[in-house]
Structure 1
Amino acid sequence: MLSKLKKSPKLKWAVRIILGLIALFILFFASIYFGMWGKIPSREELSALQQNKATQVLSSDGQLIGKFYIFDRQPITFEDLPKHLIEALIATEDARFYEHNGIDNRSLGRVFFKSILLQDESAGGGSTITLQLAKNIYGRKDYGALGIVINKFQEAIMAKRIEKIYSKDDIITLYFNTVPFSDNTYGIESASMKFFGKHVKNLNVEEAAVLVGMLKASHRYNPRIFPERSRLRRDVVLTQMEKYGYLTEAEKDKYIKKDLILDYKNYSNKKGLAPYFREQIRKDLSQVLDTIKNKDGDKYNIYRDGLIVHTTLDYKLQSIAEAAMKEHMAVLQKTHEDSYGSRAPWLTNDAILKDAIHRSKAYQNLKEDGFSEEGIMQELQKKKQMELFEYDGTVTRQASTIDSIKHYLKFLNAGLLSIDPKDGAVKAWVGGVDFRYFQYDHVSQSKRQVGSTFKPIVYTTAIDKGIAPCTYYSGRAVTYKDGWKPTNASTEEEDEDMNYSMKYALSHSMNTIAVKVLLDAGIPNVIEKAHKMGISSELPAVPSIALGTAEINMEELATAYTSFVNSSKPSTPYYITKIEDGSGNLLAEFKASEKQEAAFSEETREIMVNMMQATVNEGTATRLRYTYGLNNDIAGKTGTTQNNKDGWFVGLTPNLVTVTWVGSDDHRIGFRNTRIGQGANSALPIFGKMMQKMNADAYFNEITNARFKRPSSEVAALLDCEPTKEDSFLKKLFGSKKDEPKEIDMDEPVKEEKEKKKKGFFKRLFGGKKKEN
């Protein structure tokens, strides 16, 4: 019988076919092994696995502010992985992980034959953690009908090599560092921070189960989008942990009963905390890294090399500053729109709208594509589904590009910068109301007229030049050369027979007197003083500079004001302290700039702080006291520019200098009236709300409880005078007509009487020469 079978042609052909298939399989496997279907990484290459890693930007206390990445990945070590996270992974993905050498032979055959014979690409049950690691690192390619088989063989070869190179702990770590999650997130640390707002080492059991559950299908089980589905998958993971002895039944039931609670944090460059600040960091890093080489002599890449950037930013203060700005701007925006009604310039001013259309990217792209003006306008008027910014949440509606341009023209914008006056360390940086829609940074990029916030520089110069703070100036308006006649912003007419001390004039922001003080101090001297105080912008040598017609950015203005609370020395803002590689090796370090020379005397500094405290206590910034209930030691200065285009406030405490600005990005659109647009109403409330929030948190006690040093007895004596002084009877009698304002050459000092002592009767009666101060 056996001999007959041996002679059977069918058997011979069957044996030949089987041997042929085996040979074909060997050749096929060899073709994969030797790279005919694509090169497989060698053991040497696998020994030096290098994945793209996100660069992290950290606050002063080490909290993650944001990241720069192609793929959002933050590497961690095995010691960072909690035991229950590892157990959840093994129980769910690879129960025999510690028993095999990269391939689970028990199920490999089943999977292989399912894939070949049944072409079942979803055949599961044979993928180990090591096989998945190979797939995570190198991905899969499309090889047509044989693609699933080729990819699995390639992964099996890599898995074998990985197991020979790395320990099981290393493989677990590599897996968690490379596994993809939804929302463009790679690695368990990034996923933990994104979905639960905590480092992976702090994940509890049910949170770990949620993240491990996502691995089956990251989008399908995304807890942000599909919370109920994600919770059910979490419960499957917990059940698997019980099945393999990692949890008791009671523990499993306890965790299953818990709600799914997320603390989702999006680290997109356009979202999250401090986006304007992060964008400035990105710009600076690009320049800094051009000068640093890695061990291979190549430049570092902020999107791939996993750098760590340490900054001066205070995480809590930044959060509070952003919240304060949003709260105030939402209310101010409504007031701004209501004040104009149907006469709003963004609706009725054709020149403004036309210019905005021509500056838009959509218009420029169509023009580059060869469209005519008529064709461009037709395209821009086409309606489409569009997301538009609103303070109470973005809205989606049918709108044209022109509708969108009109919509965004109406919005006011804002900026805030808080720095430590001792060294210039930036503590809060808010460049605008929402980076997603308004990417122009008003802290670093914008230069605007600064209004009355320039006046303290004028007064500082005058006092430093020897003009006593108790010098009195008439509040009367004076007409200067070319018909320029500055008046006070107050709607109430100042008493023509009243003279005002410098302290009163500054705290009540009297324009008429600011110009007179400027001319007495000397325009060149004021400009020189401004530069010594840290203002680098070119300042026009004109009398209107006293009213803040010069354009200065927020960083310069903040620098100048630090000198008032830093021993008269300006502190230049800085915000990066050091840059490290992913292993913590120092690549670059940055420190506060060298202490500059004092810009003015200590006596002048004490006088100016006292005068700016009066601004808060009794002048234009009193709403900090009566509206916001702030009892802190605060000095400050409000500012409003011509035609109510810009509102400013600078707030000083002994340990923090804050500058706030509010206005429209289009200089032609101002506030409807001074009541709305004045700095005390438009910009000051941001500071007021921020300080309220700081007062409610003991974390800020070092700032909020700080007190200004009391003026010396000599300074107190210099400031000891009445705020106002009435003209004498004879001056009223004989000088009322003669003292009518008249044209004065702007190149000459103001010849206003600044009485420091009572004049003699005959001297006043017969017109003796007045002494000039």
Structure 2
Amino acid sequence: MKPTKNKLTQQDIRGYNWAIWRLFIIGFSLFVIALLLIAFQVFGPLPSFRELENPKSDQASEVISSDKEILGKYYIKNRTSVTYKQISPNVINALVATEDSRFFEHSGIDFQRTFTIVLYNLVGKKQGGSTITQQLALNLFSERSRNPFKRIVQKLQEWITAVKLERNYTKEEILTLYLNTVDFGAYNTYGISSAARTYFNTTPDQLTEDQAALLIGMINGPGIYSPINHPDNALKRRNFVLRRMAEEEKISQGQADELKAKPLGLKFNPINHNDGIAPYFRAVLKKEIQKILVDKAIFKPDGVTPYDLDRDGLKIYVTINATMQKYAEEAQKEYMRNLQAQFNAHWRGISLWKTIPTFKSLLDKGMKRSDRYIAAKQLNKSDEEIKEEFNTPAKMNLFTWRGDIDTIMKPIDSIVYCKMMLRNAMMSMDPTTGYIKAWVGGTNFEHFKYDQVKMGTRQVGSTAKPFTYAVAVENGFSPCMQVANEPITITGYGTPWSPRSSPSETVPGVITLRKALARSQNWVTAYVMNEVKPQPVADLIKKMGITSNVPPYPSICLGTFDASVFDMTGAYSVFSNQGVWTEPTYLLRIEDKNGNVLYNNSPRVVQAMNEQTAYVMTYMLKGVIEEGTGWRLRGTYKLTNPIGGKTGTTNDNSDGWFIGITPQLVTGVWTGCEDRDIHFRSTRLGEGANTALPIFALYMKRVYANPELGIKKNVDFVPPKSGLSITLDCNAYSQQQTGQTEVDQKLDF
């Protein structure tokens, strides 16, 4: 007997159809209900109209130099926005071809794309399920959830937001917003502008087809398609994008084949907070701006929300000249490499423990300030355990002037190494405007973050001597006045004070004040201090912008007080600027991302001394270069143009200074070790003429060699318009003094 076949009746078919339609209707109804619930923000808030008009997107704030270069950025996400016109068509073509080929046809949601996604992948046109507008909605207003249910809700929220975005923005604006927000991986690189600079050291408008294809290929997986960490994956992905561009007829098949054969061609230029020029300056500037935003109560347009320097894309315009900054850093690197070699050779074979009495104490302090010690204490390790850890070899990364090195070393030995590393700081400014042109706060910001230009103070030594002579000149003393260079004791200010003078450096006999300053003679300087008294000198020093403590004692004439490179350079600018102190200035203005000015900076101006005194002091400071301790500028470095300056060397050669002045530029340089007890053991090597002056010379030679900077060699200091009442011609001065003596004798008779 044959089995009976089951046949579907019309009634069965109608039943199945109705069941399918019921499922569809129920599913569609649930979908509509879900959309309504999401639209009414039951599952969470949707972006408001205001937020759509002003989408929040973390943007890096940029520090812009006086010659329009970006010195660096402050950011959580390294992102800089650009306009549609600033983006290469190659980028647009690659993006649309790969991510959303029907972008210009849909209104935010591509239903055809949604329902045919499987078919697209089957035929090789691999595409994601989201349109560019939907991806933008996710980038701007939410973060991808890993919870499946939340992700479904989030997807529907993206649909609604995408439609709203399409209503508020043009297609070009949506593409621009998207490309300004997308993640490109390395070193927090966000946005096409940062990506172009990081991977190809170029701007987004200059990206070629293959470069654009590589960057767009990274969007779906900046980690797995990283050209740095996974170059093979990146190459395959780039070639896929090129294939899609050919399929969408953005390039020809021949072009695609030719471009696929090319290497990646990276010019990797990673950017982080330590990279770029002027890192010490940018660190000081950041603190200053954050303080200004708080102290000046600068808020966003709503009047209550404070600006975030790391997120709000501020434009910070500064006085630093990028070219001069590079010259300053190059000069430092060139000479400090040699000076460190001198220092190492000077100490080779000599016991630090025996020669420096405080060395053990310095190491203990250095150890306790180290990150390793602090971390060990947080783990409640005992002193014995910490000591053992510091005497156990470990992997180290050390700074050298030949480049960083990785080595195995005891942590305690690494502290010794750093203690014996010379530090250096330099600042250069325009004396007339007060604008700072170059700022080198230390030798290497990654390893030694402490800024020595403004944040640190050191004893100033003989660079203080011109202040005493300036008071004397203001009281009618002539540079030609002759004084016996002999020991002197000053009383009346507590303990009697008798300055020392090295026999090898003492000029015997009677000498002029100009020669005394040029040769940095202590006894004559003390004689002048005794004549003019300490209080007027201390008052002048403060008027010239020194902010640290300057007690009115006779010894300040030899620079026993501490001051910063910032203050000392600003003080010397008074001599070049006809007696006017213009506050050293590095910040010009702050703008928001739309170019609205939030803050304008105006430097303070003080008439610190009269015009004649300032001019006479430039004449005396020229003497330092022509016949004194600064002779190397003429003899070794062949700088024969009008330059004045003063070297400075403190007790035991702990600090070496040189401050040089020209009519257009004043530059201060300091060199020394972190701890004053560690220093050169001979004045020949440790004096400012050897440790600081050469950096000034190398910097100025670079500056003078670039006529575009406008710093001219043939410009001299301007004499007072009203003329001089103080005689600078020493022959004429001698005749005047002889004549005055004869008159006095007759009167006495």
Superposition TM-score, scaled by structure 1 size: 0.84
Contact 2:703–2:711 (Cα < 8 Å) also in 1: no
Give the match for residue 499 of structure 2.
486
2:439 corresponds to 1:439: no
Partner Cα distance (2:703, 2:741) in 1: 55
Range 103-112 or range 680-689, more displaced? 103-112
Superposed, 1:111-130 pairs within 5 Å as 111=117, 124-130=127-133
- Residue of structure 2 equivalent to 1:376: 386
Q: Distance in 2 between matches of 1:700 and 1:468?
A: 36
The question of 1:39 aligning with 2:44 is answered yes
C-alpha displacement of 1:680: 1.0
Q: Which residue of 1 aligns with 2:250?
A: 246
Residue of structure 2 equivalent to 1:731: none
Kindly indicate whether residue 329 of structure 2 is the aligned counterpart of residue 322 of structure 1: yes
Distance 1:452 1:656 in 2: 21
Q: Deviations over 1:445-500 (max 9, x none)?
A: 111110111111111111111222111122334466768543445735533xx211
Match of 1:285 among 283, 286, 289: 289
Are the aligned partners of 1:501 and 1:722 in contact in 2 as well (CA < 8 Å)?
A: no
Distance in 2 (CA, whole Å) between partners of 1:399 and 1:570 is 49
Q: State the SS of the aligned residue for 1:310.
A: strand
Partner amino acid for 2:507? Answer: E
In structure 2, what residue type is equivalent to 1:169? E
Q: 1:221 to 1:681 in 2, by over 3 A?
A: farther
Deviation at 1:710, TM superposition (A): 6.3
Residues 99-498 of structure 1: pairs in structure 2 closer than 5 A: 99-111=105-117, 124-144=127-147, 152-182=155-185, 183-223=187-227, 230=234, 233-234=237-238, 236-248=240-252, 264-290=268-294, 291-298=297-304, 299-343=306-350, 345=352, 349-478=359-488, 485-489=498-502, 491-492=504-505, 494-495=507-508, 498=509
Q: Is the 8 A contact 1:40 1:154 kept in 2?
A: no
Q: CA deviation at 1:604?
A: 2.2
Counterpart residue type for residue 601 of structure 2: F
Q: Does structure 1 residue 682 correspond to structure 2 residue 691?
A: yes
Partner residue of 2:594 out of 579, 583, 600: 583
Residues 692 and 346 (structure 1 numbering): CA distance in 2 closer, same or farther, change over 3 Å?
A: farther
Q: What is aligned with 1:84?
A: 90
SS in 1 for 2:730: coil
Q: 1:554 to 1:33 in 2, by over 3 A?
A: farther
Provide the rounded CA distance (Å) in 2 between the counterparts of 1:322 and 1:512: 37
Kept in 1: contact 2:274–2:446 (CA 8 A): yes
Tell me how far apart the structure 1 counterparts of residues 153 and 118 of structure 2 sit (CA, whole Å): 11
**Residues of 1 paired with 2:502 and 2:96: CA distance?**
73
What is the aligned partner in structure 2 of residue 518 from structure 1? 529
Deviation at 1:552, TM superposition (A): 1.2
Q: Deviations over 1:99-146 (max 9, x none)?
A: 22334444423547999xx9xxx9844443223223322454444456
For 2:71, the equivalent position in structure 1 comes to 65
Secondary structure of 1:658 counterpart: strand
Post-superposition shift, 1:354? 1.3
Are residues 1:96 and 2:111 paired?
A: no
How many aligned positions are there? 725
Q: Which residue of 2 aligns with 1:707?
A: 716
CA distance in 2, matches of 1:333, 1:723: 48
- CA RMSD after TM alignment: 3.7
Secondary structure at 2:407's aligned position in 1? strand
SS of residue in 2 equivalent to 1:56? strand
1:588-737 equivalence runs, <5 A? 588-593=599-604, 595-597=605-607, 599-709=608-718, 718-721=727-730
1:571 Cα deviation from its structure 2 partner: 1.2
2:98·2:127 contact (CA, 8 Å) conserved in 1?
no
Instruction: Give me the whole-angstrom Cα distance separating, in 1, the residues matched to 2:577 and 2:67.
Output: 24
* Aligned AA (1:591): S
Q: Following TM superposition, by how much is the alpha carbon of 1:76 offset from its aligned partner in structure 2, in angstroms? A: 2.2
| Cα distance in structure 1, aligned partners of 2:32 and 2:411 | 58
Amino acid at match of 1:494: V
Contact 1:143 1:150 (8 Å CA) reproduced: no
**Could you tell me which residue of structure 2 aligns to residue 737 of structure 1?**
none
Is the alpha carbon distance of 1:80 and 1:759 closer, same or farther for their aligned partners in structure 2, counting shifts above 3 Å? closer
Work out the CA distance in 1 between the residues paired with 2:721 and 2:47.
77
Match of 1:596, SS?
A: strand
Distance 2:209 2:280 in 1: 36
| Aligned-partner Cα distance in 2 for 1:344–1:255 | 63
Moved more, 164-173 or 476-485: 476-485
SS at match of 2:580: coil
Q: Which of 572, 575, 580 does residue 569 from structure 1 map onto?
A: 580
Equivalents in 2 of 1:418, 1:238: separation in Å? Answer: 50
Which stretch has the larger CA shift, 578-587 or 30-39?
A: 30-39
CA distance in 1, matches of 2:266, 2:472: 59
Instruction: Summarize the Cα distance change of 1:266–1:105 in structure 2 as closer, same or farther, 3 Å threshold.
Output: same
Q: Would you say the 8 A contact 2:611–2:720 is kept in 1?
A: no
Bigger CA drift: 436-445 or 469-478? 469-478
Amino acid at match of 2:219: L
TM-score, normalization by structure 2: 0.87
Q: Residues 344 and 304 (structure 1 numbering): CA distance in 2 closer, same or farther, change over 3 Å?
A: farther
Over 3 Å counting, the alpha-carbon distance change for 1:163 and 1:492 in structure 2 is closer
Alpha-carbon distance between aligned partners in 2 of 1:723 and 1:619, rounded to the nearest angstrom: 23
CA distance in 2, matches of 1:175, 1:388: 42
- 1:562-610 CA-to-partner distances (Å, cap 9, x unmatched) read 11111111111122211111111111211222x322x333332222111
| Bigger mean CA offset, 502-511 vs 149-158 | 149-158
- Contact 2:516–2:524 (CA<8 Å) still a contact in 1? yes
Matched residues in 2 for 1:581 and 1:138: separation?
Answer: 22
Q: CA deviation at 1:551?
A: 0.8
Distance in 2 separating the partners of 1:440 and 1:431: 8
Structure 1 residue 236: Cα displacement: 4.8
| d(CA) in 2 for partners of 1:601, 1:146 | 79
| Counterparts of 2:606 and 2:400, CA distance in 1 | 44
Q: Structure 1 regions of 5+ residues with no counterpart?
A: 726-754, 765-769
Distance 1:151 1:711, change over 3 A: closer
Decide which moves more: 440-449 or 600-609. Answer: 600-609
- Per-residue CA deviation, residues 194-214 of structure 1 (Å, 9 max, x unaligned), is 334444334455543443333
Alignment correspondent of 1:740? none
**One-letter amino acid of the structure 2 residue matched with residue 57 of structure 1:** V
Cα pair distance change 1:439/1:90, threshold 3 Å: same
Q: Residues 756 and 540 from structure 1, CA distance in 2 versus in 1: closer, same or farther, beyond 3 angstroms?
A: farther
Cα distance in 2, alignment partners of residues 240 and 506 from structure 1 = 76
Change (3 A) 1:226 1:521: farther
| Alpha-carbon contact 2:490-2:530 (below 8 Å) kept | no
Counterpart residue type for residue 702 of structure 1: I
Distance 2:380 2:496 in 1: 50
